[in-house]
A and B are shown apart, each in its own frame.
Chain A
Amino acid sequence: MISKLVQTEFMKLRRKGIWFLTFLGPFGVVALQMVNYGLRKDWFISQGTYEWFYYVRNVSAFTPFALILGIVILTSFMASIESETKAWKQVMALPVTKWSVYIAKYTTLVALLMIACLLLVIFTLCFGLYLGFDGNVPYLDIIKYSYYPFIAALPVLGLQLWLATVSQNQGLPITLGVLGVILSYMAYFLPDWMIWKWPSLDNAWDEPLVNVGLGLAVGLGIYLIGMIDFIRRDVK
């Protein structure tokens, strides 16, 4: 049942420019580094930071920002597809459970974001190879810095999907989303407990895995709370 629902979710995304957006996010993040390295290549060399290690971290500086922005846009998008013509009632009058509809939405979002992360890995790798750093290619590092922020951003995903699906219009989720994007941009100044800081992988212990673990645990919690609230409410 869930797989059928996910298939229909992807059908509903046709012609909405979602795939372009999925491509644009990771491409934009790497494109910023194209500008950075295009303009300041000599400076990096003079500093002795013209290496894979620093390159991967430079790329990942903009990943949380793009990720949160992507989450906000995608969640509101998926919810508005249903709320525009109040199609929730049509979907829920089908022989499906409410929780399976919510899971299908969530799964679709996770799939799209994972594809975006995969593209980020590929783009990072390609431009890195083009720059021709010395030493071995740090494949694991690139994968970590592409997928860790995503896992750490799961609480934001859960929160945004919850708000987007239960709100009559998308004003509230978008407002909070934009706020989240701004917060993620100044992650360095935020206290460790704020979920918008987590995708930056920065914390007091200097251990990215703390954020990943927290992201998974809290993300799952918010996901469940959102789903329970969604089930509890009358269909609009």
Chain B
Amino acid sequence: MEYVVETKKLTKKFGIEYAVADLDLKIPKGEIYGFLGPNGAGKTTTIRLLLGLMRQNTGTIKIFNKDLNSTRLEILKKVGSLVENPSYYGHLTARENLETLRKIHGAPKQRIDDVLDIVRLSDVGNKKVKGFSLGMKQRLGIAASLLNNPELLILDEPTNGLDPSGIIEIRNLIKRLPSEYGMTVLISSHLLSEIDQIATSVGVISKGKMIFQDSIEEMRMLSQQKISLKLDDNEKAWRFLSSKGVKVEPENDCLALVEQSDQEIAHVIRMLVENNFSIYRVEEEKRSLEDTFLQMTMEEKAV
């Protein structure tokens, strides 16, 4: 597989505290890579390292198969980014803000109208950014990151501060980028639901360490299901099944089956029916990705 971003043993320390530790980040070309982690897990630090805003203590970063430290300028020409809160010059208009960046990229003037149009800020292009709402500033930041038509787009929590319709708009925009412009996107978030809806690959970071990295499908597989049974007499059924050596756990007003193979379930149900238990419900309870994510990051804390 061709990776646009590849880090090896990336480590960044602040004092004695490890912000990022031995991180192996791999972003395949043309994917939307969701970079997930709780607040303070090291997402923004990693992104800053990827942009050369900080220097790592150890480890290597390769972007477009080139070493970041030695070919930073060449790489950054093809990278667009929005890091943390959007930066802007409040006393300038949206257009002037973009102009200060366009000049350095050397992009054509037309590009400013294009990106303003993409994020739907064309109407307010000549207004001072000072008066913009947070959502509008965020969209201006995204517009700025698209100015140079990047091959790699790095967005750090891009939907922060947006209203629901704004979030959907940005989400649809990001989804379009790989197919329409051949971009690879790195998008960080602390909200799994956000990532779940747009990402094709996922990396989960906790306390500076990568604890999961694969396609989103693999992550969904991880969220195992659970079978819960509701019976006329849960207590009795629990005792009966336990005596037969079946592992069940009482849970509120039902029983949860730990074993999940089809034969196992059929076997348990047959036993229950044959012993005159009335079965009200057999339900498959999917553990949400949210739970999986929470569990992953919790496990990390417990260690």
Contacts and interface: CB of A to CB of B under 8 A. Distances in A.
Interface string A4-33: 110110011011100000000000000000
Interface stretch (B51-59, B113-121, B215-223): B51-59
- Most A CB within 10 A of own CB, among B51, B81, B104: B104
A135 B76 CA distance: 62
B104 A5 contact: yes
Nearest to B154: A93
Contacts of A16: 91
B96 A11 contact: yes
Name B's interface SS.
loop
22 contacts: A4-B103, A4-B106, A8-B100, A11-B96, A11-B100, A11-B103, A12-B100, A14-B96, A85-B86, A88-B87, A89-B48, A89-B84, A90-B101, A93-B53, A93-B81, A94-B76, A95-B73, A95-B76, A96-B104, A97-B73, A234-B53, A235-B48
B133 to A, nearest CB: 15
B90 interface: yes
B195 interface: no
Name A's interface SS.
loop
B99 interface: yes
A42 to B, nearest CB: 49
Nearest to A84: B90
A94 B92 contact: no
A86 interface: yes
B71 to A, nearest CB: 11
A178 interface: no
Contacts of A95: 73-74, 76-77, 104-105
Given A89-B48, A95-B76, A7 B103 contact: yes
Nearest to A98: B52
A12 B144 contact: no
Contact of B104 (A8, A15, A89): A8
A131 interface: no
B18 interface: no
Nearest to A17: B91
